[in-house]
Structure 1
Amino acid sequence: MPFPSSPAHRWRVPPALPVVKLVGAVALTALGLVLSGGDPVALVLALVVAAGLTAWAARDLLLPVRLTADADGVTVIEGFAGRRRLPWASIEAIGVARRSRFGLTAETLEIDAGDSLHLFGRYDLDAPPDEVAETLRAARPD
């Protein structure tokens, strides 16, 4: 299967996910205000967690694309908001890891670049990791 003629494939966070995180942050703030009962520690804890959710949602809104692939290689998100370009020659393996726990199975796309391992879950890609791995393998020059 040849790589499509499009300049790049892009995988991004589902558009609804940052909204859910922001709603959760607002709900935590409201619950902290209502249920703290004058306890400043409970209120501060709720506000800290809400701030963390807000920062996480902001990252999803500002940098929604987690992975791109083109004829020259892939670009992955690295750290909180950085990007790293990986030429195809530096990629040693592309695979999907499956882990079961408590009756639930989680799949993770793994891109092994030798000195670094890049992991992407279903909600990083808005696609099943199996499909993304197949597309990346097809995109890779022989």
Structure 2
Amino acid sequence: MRLPATLRRKNANIHDRALLFLVVGAGGTWAAHETDRIIPEFLSALMMVGSLCVLLSLLWPFSIHVDDAGLTVRARGATTRLPWASIVRITVPRDSKGGFTAPTLMLLLAPGVRIKRRVGERKGDERLHRLLGLDDFTIPPEQVIATLKVYSPEGIVDADDYLSYRATKRLVSQLLREAEEDREDGH
């Protein structure tokens, strides 16, 4: 029997961005108030409220517990247990332009299955849930996918296109770096 794994959300980046927007919003509110401008003051206050909401959302952990029996998704203060039989597919789809600019882990669930406190898009009788961007986990995207593949039944995890894209991107980056080093060495 394998030990279960837990995939967690990386909170540091979200926290830093929310604090930045909070500070910018507070500065904008103060500056707009000093110049008696209503619209900039309203927009800055709205920015502050939005960033406070994001900071509050960090109080609720997001994690996916993976084991031989299925997934347990903890999100927005609710926990949902999903046996492997209730999951039709786990995928990382391409964006509207055919690329992977913001790769997102998505679950296609069997009819009647839902994740608590999350809205899923209907696909016939099934529901498609966007979980989290692959770059927002505490481990690299390849490890997230590998962890899901290790525990899931054969064929549920469909992320080979994304893994090929990442491998190609790394290879091209390495070739460009080597070419730059050769130019610097005078070859």
Q: Shorter-chain TM-score: which interval?
A: 0.7 to 0.9
Q: Which has the higher contact order (CA 8 A, sep 6+)?
A: 1
- Hey, which of these two has a bigger chunk of strand by percent? 1
CA distance in structure 2 between the partners assigned to 1:54 and 1:88 by the alignment = 36
AA aligned opposite 1:137: K
Q: Which residue of 2 aligns with 1:23?
A: 20
106-115 vs 80-89, which moves further: 80-89
Structure 1: runs of 5 or more not aligned: none
CA distance in structure 1 between the partners assigned to 2:14 and 2:136 by the alignment = 10
Mark the CA change 1:123 to 1:111 in structure 2 (over 3 Å): closer, same or farther: same
Per the TM alignment, residue 71 of structure 1 is displaced from its structure 2 partner at its CA by 2.4
Aligned partners of 1:14 and 1:123 also within 8 Å: no
Q: Which residue of 1 aligns with 2:133?
A: 121
AA aligned opposite 2:80: R
| 1:30-69 alpha-carbon deviations (Å, 9 max, x no partner) | 1232145212332122112211111112212x12323221
Matched, 1:39 2:37: yes
Return the match for 2:65 from 68, 72, 78. Answer: 68
CA distance in structure 2 between the partners assigned to 1:98 and 1:71 by the alignment = 28
CA distance in structure 1 between the partners assigned to 2:88 and 2:142 by the alignment = 17
Please give the root-mean-square deviation of Cα atoms over the aligned residues, in Å.
Answer: 2.7
Write the mapping of 1:69-84 to structure 2, written as runs, cut at 5 A.
Answer: 69-77=66-74, 80-84=76-80
AA aligned opposite 2:152: R
| 1:94-140 alpha-carbon deviations (Å, 9 max, x no partner) | 11112265x97221111111233222213542344443233112112
Return the match for 2:143 from 115, 121, 131. Answer: 131
Q: Which residue of 1 aligns with 2:10?
A: 13
CA distance in structure 1 between the partners assigned to 2:83 and 2:136 by the alignment = 21
State the TM-score, normalizing by the size of structure 2.
0.60
Structure 2: runs of 5 or more not aligned: 111-125, 155-187
Say which SS state the counterpart of residue 98 (structure 1) adopts: coil
Aligned partners of 1:91 and 1:113 also within 8 Å: yes
Q: Which residue of 2 aligns with 1:107?
A: 103
Instruction: Tell which structure's C-alpha radius of gyration is larger.
Output: 2
Q: Percent identity?
A: 29
State the TM-score, normalizing by the size of structure 1.
0.76
